[in-house]
Amino acid sequence: MPWFSQCPRLVSMPRLAAGLLIGLLPFGAALPADRYPDLHTDRDAFTPAAACIPAGTVLTEGSYVFIDNQTGLPTNSYPELLWRIGATKRFEWRIGVNYSVGTQGNVVTNVEIGELPVDGSTLYESSILYGFKLAVTEQQGLLPESCFIMEASTPTFGELFGTTPVATYVFGWDLPETLAFPSAQPWRLDAAIRYSYAEAETNWFSRWGPSVVLRMPVTDRWEVHAEYFGTFTQGLATNTNRPFFSPGTHYMLTQSLEVGVRVGWGLGNDAANFFSDAGFGWRW
């Protein structure tokens, strides 16, 4: 068993990760705005980006997530590695790996981990993720830019071994340029609906994950966002309702390297008290 699974709280870890990322922000000389294109990372928020990555490129994303559950031990999830491989202008392949430990599942990121156990025992779960992302529409007036993501998560170690299929539809709009800060890109409003069919202790159940995020570029390198999302189950003996409010930010260190932090607070009795997510995106 890894040494870090013996540490019940690891409260200093999210603070340390956030501090390291914030400490990196001043580095790098200012460059023109067109030198810092948006990487469209999916880890930046619970709501994925509504765009595929360019053909012939690979985008590597990773995170460390800390979840302060209301009862029992916290959940620690890492490295949440995802490789997005651009196949065509409208299609990308996706493959990832992750490890999670805690008394409840990870329900605040794109990684799918089971809801159970909720009896205070510890859940150890490693998994692989695989699937694709397909661009569906481009923004034209009120018609949003949108994409469809089909993935599956298969545990490689842990208490639950059923493969979890996950379908996500994402759509969004670039807002009028009057809402942009000087020398920055327009604000953007994105929304998504996620559905997964997951395994519980005695049966399978449905999990829905609606979300909406307002992304606000401050400069050509720095963006902040505010998000509402939740996960809601159907088919469990006791269903859960876990809404969250989550602000976040990311910063472009180079043309191809992004670092970011997001935090969130639960808004209901079932939701975790707090979570933090520190990670990166690297395109090559």
CA nearest neighbour of 107 among 200, 241, 214, 247: 241
Least confident piece of the model among 21-35, 144-158, 160-174, 190-204: 21-35
| Residue whose entry in the numeric block shows the structure tokens 């994409």 | 147
Q: How many CB atoms lie within 10 A of CB 221?
A: 21
Residues 6+ away with beta carbon under 8 Å from 186: 174, 175, 176, 177, 179, 180, 217
- Looking at the chain, the number of H-run helices and the number of E-run strands are 1, 12
Q: Greater confidence, 169 or 71?
A: 169
Using DSSP's 3-state secondary structure scheme, residue 214 falls into strand
H-only helix segments in the chain: 12-24
Within 13 Å and on the Cβ side, how many CA atoms surround 145? 16
Q: How far apart are CA 156 and CA 97, in angstroms?
A: 10
Q: How far apart are CA 238 and CA 149, in angstroms?
A: 29
Any idea what the Cα angle at residue 59 is, between residues 57 and 65, rounded to 5°? 175
Q: What would the pLDDT profile of 172-198 be if each residue is shown by its tens digit?
A: 999 988 777 776 788 999 999 999 987
Q: Is the predicted pLDDT of residue 134 greater than 90, yes or no?
A: yes
pLDDT at 281: 97
Which range among 18-32, 112-126, 176-190, 202-216 has the greatest average pLDDT?
Answer: 202-216
Architecture of domain 3-283: Beta Barrel (2.40)
pLDDT at 214: 97
pTM for this prediction: 0.84
Q: Is the predicted pLDDT of residue 12 greater than 50, yes or no?
A: no
CA nearest neighbour of 131 among 99, 172, 80, 83: 83
Mean pLDDT of 40-45: 94
User: Where do the structural domains in the chain lie, given as residue ranges?
Assistant: 3-283
pLDDT at 56: 95
